[in-house]
Structure 1
Amino acid sequence: MTPRLLVIDSSIEMAHEIARVARRAGYDAHACTDYEDFSRRYDAETSVVVIDLMLTEPDGVEIIRALSGHRSPAGVILTSRFDPRVLGAAERLARAQKLWVIGTLTKPFSDSVLENMLANVEQTAVERTLKFKAFPKLEDLRAGIERDELRVYFQPKIHLHELRINSVEALVRWQHPSLGLLSPDRFIEMSEEGGLINAVTSAVMEKSFAQCSDWLTGGLDLKVSINVSTRSLTDLELPDKISALARRHNIRPEQVVLEITESWLRNDHVAALDILTRLRIKGFDLSIDDYGTGYSTMQQLQEFPFCELKLDRTFVSDAHRNPDSRAIVESSIRLGHELKLRVVAEGIATQTDWDLVSRLGCDEGQGFFIARPMPGKDMPDWLDRWQATLGDGTRG
């Protein structure tokens, strides 16, 4: 069946031009004259909608809201002559509203740019459908935890200037009996909503400490960073529980970095101060994770006893081409150092990313350019290969 595409634009001439290009790309495309026409034509068979933000009554954001309310499965392309930051904000809004955003186009744009954007939509749609059908159920996760199906993989964190490795991040996976190895985006949100996140966090911490203990036995002394559930961070006894677990595995507190997402810190200020202060007193390091994605961040850095600031991957990966992202990365590194914090860049995917954050003075980094997450048993061999690479002078 020929995929359907609807265009609604403040300029009917532009709408017809976009529809013409879409027809050339194989779409049954319609240029809508107004929102009433758009609403009449839109149905569950619509594959793609192209929305101009500068519409009036309703504007593009209101249409995004309406599509979200209808749980639209259609791919969305946003266009505008406006400030690119406004277009970026609208894209983030659409994604937050659970819409499938194919991309954004700043006017004027060439036919070829739109054609390239439309070229792989149908294949992506099929892949998305298969992915969503493959999402497990909450009862599957509960049973999986009981059957010990959760796995912990470890991703190295590199000192960007000395090129040494003394820490890793623990990342959970689920070895599902029929769906295979599942990444966190397939089950973490479900575990949060279904009340299983504390069990997931406990399993990750138990397995991470056990692996660190095994590494120590083999002569490998690595720090491990662990993401702590925001639900767990309401438990005033958490510092005592983590301390007891570390003692049971003969792990020193200074070997452990607990990563806390900054958006949580505004939820229960008093409990946060209590728990995080006690964790620091007991010797555990604290990291503010996904820095730059929440609110009141400078106040949080001042008030809470963090040791590390972790730059969000979206800014790191975008910094070499987006001046705003680069400014955020650069100012965050400077602020972190002025506050005597260790600064870590996550999401380093290319040599360009590495070169930029190194040049800006970031302390540590992690990402696929360095290494993908791996089982703990593979870490010693990977470290040997890393050292051999340094000996050849082929990295950094």
Structure 2
Amino acid sequence: MDSLGNLESLKGHTILVVEDNDFQRSVALQVLQSLGIKDIHQAADGLQALKVLEQFGKVDVVICDLDMPGMDGIQFLGELAKNKLAGAVIVASAMEASLIRTVEDLVQEHGLKLLGTLAKPLAKKKLQDLLGRFTDLETEESTSFPQDAKAPWTVKELDDALSRKEFTLYHQPKVSMATGELEATEVLCRWQHPEHGLVMPDSFIPLMEESGQIEALTEQVIEKALVALCDFKTKGMTTKIGINLSAITLNDTSMPDRLFKQLSALKLSPELLMLEITESSLIDQPAKSLETLARLKMKGFMLSIDDFGTGYSSMKQLNRIPFSELKIDRSFVDGASEDKTRKAIIDANIGLAHTLGMRVVAEGVEQVADWHLLNELGCDIVQGYFVARPMPISELSDWLSDWQQRFEQLNDSQQSACE
């Protein structure tokens, strides 16, 4: 669903604007009204906002300033999180970018859903895009369950789902910035539950890792991914597929042999499989993980370091593991076109990766301005909602046709801007 479709769904939701400047607050209210949103509340500082919430109850989205008298925005966000008074937050502030980045991290550490940040005065298009993300969050949460709650499934239910092969793959495209071609897809696991519909992985993966079922799930994911690779090959496509490997899988040093035999039997090259590894997955049993990764690389598989920069030992991992691809985490990418620090981090990471002979993937690209920035900085591959959401493999063909037209328009607009 695009941002306009999401916005249509948002019109029945409640918004609270917390802003001490009367003019800025008035502008925000007018912009929201122009987007067709009717249930809007307002407050001049954090204390007043808490009184509004006490009167009207939890709201869907809070648009919050930071520097306010009485209770400032930072204090208010803490109260908002503690009392679970909002579905999501947009930070609106004219403060310096470094402070806003700290607040963004703070919001997420509090467990609040952050839709994004806005400069002031509020721009209608940017606000529309951020509000459009709220319905996406609602859709995800309707098929997910709180991580701090008791697991909604039992081990037996997951065993039954495995035996019935109810887990399915969604493909998120990764495209070349230079040509727009579909370079690869990252496969993301979903559970097609017979009663609850499509269930997101955050509600079943932790229990499967705890129970040891993750190995059986990984085997099914690999089997389905290989079927997809065969389908691509039949259509004359050289599209790669990326699969996330858990720490438990990396501890299995016999896995490289099994995987190589599976691909050989299907006459598929190991280079078509990109195995994505997060830094945290290398901490469990480092010796076994390194052995598994070295043997995978030796057999020709591609290795990708996922969520680069979010761990504490990124440079060490680059030095010790022969990665083919570096994925820059979405926390650095989203909004980088408006943030000099994020731009500098991305620029440095691209330069580092290219010097080490790796290709660079930017995750979480959602805005055209960020696309143009990444192109300017020499990023190789892009992945994110701006390009495509995850989808069943049956929808890839239609998406690709639409995307090629969009890519030509992107090129035309960028060339016009340079003339």
**Which TM class, normalised by the smaller chain length?**
0.7 to 0.9
> 1:136-178: CA deviations, max 9, x gaps?
7424655433322222233443333355445332233333334
Report what 1:257 is aligned to: 274
Where does the alignment leave 5 or more consecutive residues of structure 2 unmatched? 1-12, 146-151, 412-419
Match of residue 201, structure 1, among 218, 221, 227: 218
User: Residue 138 in 1 paired to residue 150 in 2?
Assistant: no
User: Residue 326 in 1 paired to residue 343 in 2?
Assistant: yes
Contact persistence 1:4–1:45 (CA under 8 A): no
Partner Cα distance (1:29, 1:382) in 2: 41
Judging changes above 3 Å, is the alpha-carbon distance between structure 1 residues 20 and 293 closer, same or farther for their aligned structure 2 residues? Answer: same
Report what 1:191 is aligned to: 205
Contact persistence 1:154–1:168 (CA under 8 A): yes
| Secondary structure, counterpart of 1:170 in structure 2 | strand
What is the CA distance between 1:374 and its match in structure 2?
4.4
Contact persistence 2:47–2:76 (CA under 8 A): no
| Secondary structure, counterpart of 1:306 in structure 2 | coil
| Secondary structure, counterpart of 2:337 in structure 1 | coil
> 1:17-58: CA deviations, max 9, x gaps?
969988x986666667869x9699858924377777568999
Q: Supply the AA of the counterpart residue of 1:93.
A: L
Q: Which moved more, 1:139-148 or 1:86-95?
A: 139-148
Partner Cα distance (2:15, 2:390) in 1: 40
Q: Supply the AA of the counterpart residue of 2:309.
A: G
What is the Cα-based RMSD across aligned positions, in Å? 4.7
Q: Which moved more, 1:255-264 or 1:96-105?
A: 96-105
**What pairs with 1:62-77 in structure 2 (closer than 5 Å)?**
64-65=77-78, 67-73=80-86, 75-76=88-89
**What pairs with 1:1-396 in structure 2 (closer than 5 Å)?**
42=54, 45-47=57-59, 64-65=77-78, 67-73=80-86, 75-76=88-89, 78=91, 82-101=95-114, 104=117, 109-110=120-121, 132=141, 134-135=143-144, 137-139=152-154, 142-182=159-199, 186-195=200-209, 196-349=213-366, 352-376=369-393, 385=401, 396=411
Q: Which moved more, 1:89-98 or 1:202-211?
A: 89-98
> 1:279-321: CA deviations, max 9, x gaps?
1122211001122333332222122111111222343342322
Partner Cα distance (1:105, 1:386) in 2: 30
| Secondary structure, counterpart of 1:320 in structure 2 | helix
Partner Cα distance (1:157, 1:127) in 2: 20
| Secondary structure, counterpart of 2:165 in structure 1 | coil
Judging changes above 3 Å, is the alpha-carbon distance between structure 1 residues 281 and 337 closer, same or farther for their aligned structure 2 residues? Answer: same
| Secondary structure, counterpart of 1:251 in structure 2 | coil
Q: Supply the AA of the counterpart residue of 2:316.
A: Q
Q: Which moved more, 1:133-142 or 1:306-315?
A: 133-142
Contact persistence 1:156–1:169 (CA under 8 A): yes
Q: Supply the AA of the counterpart residue of 1:284.
A: F
Partner Cα distance (1:394, 1:328) in 2: 28
Contact persistence 1:263–1:293 (CA under 8 A): no
Judging changes above 3 Å, is the alpha-carbon distance between structure 1 residues 299 and 6 closer, same or farther for their aligned structure 2 residues? Answer: same
Partner Cα distance (2:17, 2:394) in 1: 52
> 1:306-356: CA deviations, max 9, x gaps?
111122234334232222222222221111111111122334455544443
| Secondary structure, counterpart of 1:138 in structure 2 | coil
Contact persistence 2:173–2:185 (CA under 8 A): yes
Q: Supply the AA of the counterpart residue of 1:138.
A: W
- Seq. identity, %: 32
Judging changes above 3 Å, is the alpha-carbon distance between structure 1 residues 127 and 245 closer, same or farther for their aligned structure 2 residues? Answer: closer
Judging changes above 3 Å, is the alpha-carbon distance between structure 1 residues 318 and 46 closer, same or farther for their aligned structure 2 residues? Answer: closer
| Secondary structure, counterpart of 2:300 in structure 1 | coil
Contact persistence 2:387–2:403 (CA under 8 A): no
Judging changes above 3 Å, is the alpha-carbon distance between structure 1 residues 342 and 124 closer, same or farther for their aligned structure 2 residues? Answer: closer
Q: Which moved more, 1:329-338 or 1:309-318?
A: 309-318
Contact persistence 1:6–1:38 (CA under 8 A): no
TM-score normalised over the length of structure 2: 0.69
Judging changes above 3 Å, is the alpha-carbon distance between structure 1 residues 65 and 146 closer, same or farther for their aligned structure 2 residues? Answer: farther
Partner Cα distance (1:155, 1:94) in 2: 27
Judging changes above 3 Å, is the alpha-carbon distance between structure 1 residues 280 and 179 closer, same or farther for their aligned structure 2 residues? Answer: same
Where does the alignment leave 5 or more consecutive residues of structure 1 unmatched? none
What is the CA distance between 1:361 and its match in structure 2?
1.8
